[in-house]
Amino acid sequence: MKSKLWILFKNITVNNYKFNKKFSSSNIPKTIFNIILALLVSVVVIAYSALYSYLATSFAKEYNLEQYIPMLFYLVTQFFIFMFSIYRVKSMLFDSSDNDMLFSMPLKPQTILASRMLTLLSVNYVLTILIYAPSLFIYGMVSQITIAYILGAVISVIFLPFIPTVLSSIVGYIIAFVSSKVNSKKIIETIVTFIMFILVFVGVSQIQSFGTIFINNVETIDMVLNNILIFPGLLFKAMYNSNILALIAYIVLNIILFFVFCLILSKGYKNIINRLKEIKKVKKKGEVKFEKTNDITITLIKKEFRRYISIPVYVVNTFFGMILLILFAGSTIFIDKTTIINELFNTSQDAQMGLTIFPFIIMVIAFTMLMSNTAGSSISLEGKNLWILKTLPVDIKKVLKSKVLFNILVILPISIISLVIVFFTFNLTLTELLIGILFEILISIFVGEFGIIINLKYPKINYINETQVVKQSLSSFLCVMLPMVVIMVMPIIYFIASYTISINVFVMIICGILLLINALFYLLINTWGVKKFNKL
C-alpha cells in the first residue's frame, strides 16, 4: 500500500510544477525561453560558486586547510537556504488553498505538514546543487579524494537542506503563531518578516568577516565542528576520516530531526491555519463609513494600496529596497561621512569625497528603486478577480495608469527624502540635488511602466498563492533582474566616459535616455498594453 505522505507529496508537486500541462505549439517558445533563462541563471551561479570555491581552496591549501572549504560552503549554502526559505514557509505551510480539502480527508495533520515540508525541501535542493555541489567538485580536483569522501559528498547533498528547512519552518511557524494571536495579522506578519530579513541582511554582510575569522582560528575549527556544529562535524569525520559510524549518525540524526519537528509542530498546525483565516469582526453593528466620491484614478490607486498592504510577501518583496535606502540615508546622519567614504572607496582623501560620492549615491538610489517594482506583479495578482476590472465601465488605460502611479507613489517620496538627507550629510551641490531628483522621477516612472509591460507579457493569473506571483513568477524576476544588469554595466560605461564628461553630464544623458524610453513605454502601454490586458 502506498504511503499517504508519498501520495500527498507526489500530487502537490505535480500540481505546483504543472507536470500535467500538455505542450501546445503556442506555448513552446515560452517554455524554451523559460528553460534557457533557468539554464543561464544556473550556469552563472554555478560558475560563481566554482570560482569562489577554487579561490578559497587554493588560498586554504597554502595553510593545509583545503579540506575545510567544502564545510565552509556547506554552512554558507545552509545559510542561503534558510534565508530563501523564510518567505516561502508562510505560503507553503499555512496559506495553501488545499487546507480545507486535506483536513477533511482521513489524513493526520503531521502527514499534511510533512508533505509540505518535503515540498519545501525539494525546492531547496536546487540551491544545494547550485552553491554547494561545485565546491565538492573543486576540492575533488585539487586534492586526493577517497571513496569515503565521494560517499559523504553524495549523502551531504541529500541531507544538507534538512536543518535550514527545519529552522526556517520554525521561524515561519513563530511568525504565523504570533500573527494568529492578534487582530492585525497582516501588519504583524509584515513587520516580523521585515525584522527577519534585516537580520539576515546584516548576517550576509558579515559573511566576509566570517571567512577571515575562519582562517585565523584554525585551532578552534575542529572544536566548533565537534561540539557546536554537530551535523557538519559528523559529516567531516565521515568524509575525511572514513568513519562510517559518523556517516550513519549524520543520516539518522537528520531524518529524526526532520520528522520530530513535523510531529511537534503538527500539534497546533490546524488551529494556526484556521486562526490565520479569521477576519477581525466589526464589534458594533451600524458602524458603516461611507466615503466621499473619488476620482476614478484615485479610487483605483486606493484599491492597489489596500491590496498591497493585505499581502505581506508583496510588501516585503517590493519595499525592502526602500527600507535599505532609508537606512542608508539615515545612517549618513549618525555615522561619520569620512568613515563611509573610506569604507566605500578604501581611501582617506577627504578632498575626493565630493567628486566620488555622487555617482555612488545615484547607483544606490537606482539599485533600491529598481528593487521596488510593485507593478510587475500587480496584474497577475488580480488573479480570479480580473473580471471585476474588465467589466467595470473604466478605460483600461486608467487601470494600467493607476498601477504605474501606485508604484511611483511607493518609491518616489522615500527616494526624494533620502536624497535630500544625503544632500545635507554629504554636502552635495544644488545642481547634484536637482539632477538627482530628476533622475529619481524618471526612474520611478520607468520602474512602473516596465513592470506593467513585463507583467502583461508574462502574466501569472492562475496562481496557488500570492508568493508564487511575487517571488517565483517570471515577470517579477525579469522586472528586477533585467534593469539590474543595466545598472551593473553603468559604472563601467561611466568609468570609460569619465575621461571626457563629468558625472552631472553623464546622469543627464541617462535621464535623456530614460525620458525617451518612458515615452515609448507610455505609447506601448496605451496601445499594445490595453489590447493585451483585454485578452487576459
Partner 1 sequence: MLKIENLTKKYGDKSAIDNLNLEVQDGEIFGFIGHNGAGKTTTIKCMVGILEFDNGNIYINGNSIKDEPLKCKKDIAYIPDNPDIYENLTGISYLNFVADIFEIDKKTREERINKYAEAFEIKNELQDLISSYSHGMKQKLVIISALIHTPKLLILDEPFVGLDPKASFTLKEIMKEMTKEGAAIFFSSHVLEVVEKLCDKIGIIKEGKLITYGTVEEVKGNESLEEVFLELIKDEK
What are the residues binding partner 1 (CB under 8 A)? 1-2, 4, 7-8, 11-12, 14-16, 18-22, 97-101, 103-108, 270-271, 274, 278, 281, 462, 464
Residue 399: CB minimum distance to partner 1, A: 24
CA angle in degrees (0–180, nearest 5) for 518-523-526: 120
Residue 7: CB minimum distance to partner 1, A: 4
CA 177 – CA 304 distance, rounded (Å): 28
Among the residues of 311-429, which ranges form H helices?
312-334, 337-345, 353-371, 375-378, 386-391, 396-425
Between 29 and 106, name the residue whose CB sits nearer to partner 1.
Answer: 106
Between 108 and 531, name the residue whose CB sits nearer to partner 1.
Answer: 108
Residue 116: CB minimum distance to partner 1, A: 14
Task: Please choose, from the candidates 295, 324, 88, 313, the residue with its C-alpha nearest in 3D space to the C-alpha of residue 202.
Answer: 324
CA 369 – CA 74 distance, rounded (Å): 33
CA 370 – CA 265 distance, rounded (Å): 38
Residue 209: CB minimum distance to partner 1, A: 45
Residue 140: CB minimum distance to partner 1, A: 39
Q: What is the dihedral of CA 339, 345, 348, 352, to 10 degrees?
A: -110
- Could you tell me if residue 346 is left (phi over 0), alpha (psi between -120 and 50 degrees) or otherwise beta? left
- Please answer whether residues 527 and 397 qualify as being in contact, where contact means their C-beta atoms are separated by less than 8 angstroms: no
Between 98 and 356, name the residue whose CB sits nearer to partner 1.
Answer: 98
Residue 240: CB minimum distance to partner 1, A: 44
In order of 48, 365, 517, the CA distances from 443 in angstroms are 30, 9, 10
Between 280 and 292, name the residue whose CB sits nearer to partner 1.
Answer: 280
Between 106 and 393, name the residue whose CB sits nearer to partner 1.
Answer: 106
Task: Please choose, from the candidates 325, 320, 329, 419, the residue with its C-alpha nearest in 3D space to the C-alpha of residue 373.
Answer: 320
Between 59 and 177, name the residue whose CB sits nearer to partner 1.
Answer: 177
Residue 32 CA, distance from chain mean position: 24
Q: Is 23 helix (H, G, I), strand (E, B) or coil?
A: coil
Residue 174: CB minimum distance to partner 1, A: 21
Residue 458: CB minimum distance to partner 1, A: 17
Between 181 and 531, name the residue whose CB sits nearer to partner 1.
Answer: 181
Between 187 and 484, name the residue whose CB sits nearer to partner 1.
Answer: 187
Between 102 and 438, name the residue whose CB sits nearer to partner 1.
Answer: 102
Residue 229: CB minimum distance to partner 1, A: 40
Q: Is the dihedral of CA 150, 152, 156, 159 positive or negative?
A: positive
CA 494 – CA 508 distance, rounded (Å): 12
Residue 41: CB minimum distance to partner 1, A: 23
Other beta carbons within 10 angstroms of residue 1's beta carbon come to: 3
CB-count exposure of residue 216 (10 Å: 0-12, 13-18, 19+): exposed
Report the length, in residues, of the chain.
536
Between 86 and 273, name the residue whose CB sits nearer to partner 1.
Answer: 273
CA 87 – CA 49 distance, rounded (Å): 24
